[in-house]
A = this chain, B = another copy of it.
Amino acid sequence: MSFDLNQTEDQRQIHDACRAMLAEHYPLSRLRGPATAESLAPLVAFGAFAFALPEAHGGAGFTLLDEALLHVQLGRHLISPAALAAPIAARIALDNGQLEQAVKITEGQTSVSAMVKTKNGILLLGNGAAVLGIIRQHDTMQLIDISQVNRDRKAAMAQGQPIFAIASLPAPKSNNVAKAQTSQTAQILVSAQLLGVAEGARDLAVEYAKIREQFGRPIGSFQAIKHHCANMALGVEKLSAQLDMAAIAVGKQSEDAAFQTAALARIAPNVALENARICIQIHGGIGFSAEADAHLFLKQAHVLRQLIGQTDFLALPAPMAPTREDT
């Protein structure tokens, strides 16, 4: 297994295919109008949820880095958080020896949603009909059967995304806790989607800056707009490099996996939020309207940010090298 970022032809093909699938089934225009639960069928058919699982467990055997790059694409299309919940839930099932459960999840027969804690309760994001939910508790992830749990639809900040309140969860079972690698993987995939949001916002802004004219020239020829765009590019470069680093470390279970993931989780939300902010600003009046896509990136960044979780980063030992044998 290699972690070569100089993509192979195979890797290029699968990512091209993913792009085409997303363009067909998940255009941003679907997010206009009332929020509905997103159909994940095209993603299931693509094998997105078992992408990096071992072939022995019904997976496609790609690396975690490959899967992360897939989620960057999903992030660009502002896919429901349910698409993050499924591959993590499948891993938690496998962590606890529930192979059958894992297969049902990756094949879309059992639906999963992501949940987050608030000060007063729990929110369920994305698919209100889900029978399973994943939630981050005390630095790890749990998979919980929520089929018997009542849920109330709420008005969401991100109008395109349904959201539900849950008063309380059933007592956790002992065999539903994620291994450390799975919890880190969750942070990798959320960060990958945040990178996708940041990239999407950058591209939308840059394209607009090239065509929109003011004072007789494209606004992208003004230094202030140029520098805004450069800042977006700087954010993307920083985040994507750290994503590579962390995805490789977690995929290989290197000793710096926790450090690299924590650094990534600290950077990712801010880059996405900042790029979305700049994207709105560059669009001017239209960027503030519901008609443009700019605000959708901002709202998705807020959603993903709540899913990422933070650790006490300063408590982790610092790596100076991927392999350390301080003899």
Contact = CB atoms under 8 A, between A and B. Distances in A.
Contacts of A224: 223-224, 227
Interface residues of A, number: 4
A227 B226 CA distance: 13
A224 B229 CA distance: 13
Nearest to A224: B223
A319 to B, nearest CB: 31
A-side binding surface: helix, strand, loop or mixed? helix
A222 B221 CA distance: 11
A194 to B, nearest CB: 28
Interface string A222-261: 1110010000000000000000000000000000000000
Q: Which of A222, A223, A227 has the most CB of B within 10 A?
A: A223
Contacts of A223: 222-224
Contacts of A227: 224
A303 to B, nearest CB: 31
A192 B224 CA distance: 32
Contacts of A222: 223
Interface string A206-223: 000000000000000011
A223 B217 CA distance: 15
A29 B99 CA distance: 79
Interface string A125-140: 0000000000000000
A222 B225 CA distance: 12
A119 B194 CA distance: 43
A10 B65 CA distance: 73
Nearest to A227: B224
A133 B319 CA distance: 48
A102 B222 CA distance: 58
Interface in A133-162: none
5 contacts: A222-B223, A223-B223, A223-B224, A224-B224, A224-B227
Return the 4 tightest CB-CB contacts between A and B, nearest first.
A223-B223, A223-B224, A222-B223, A224-B227
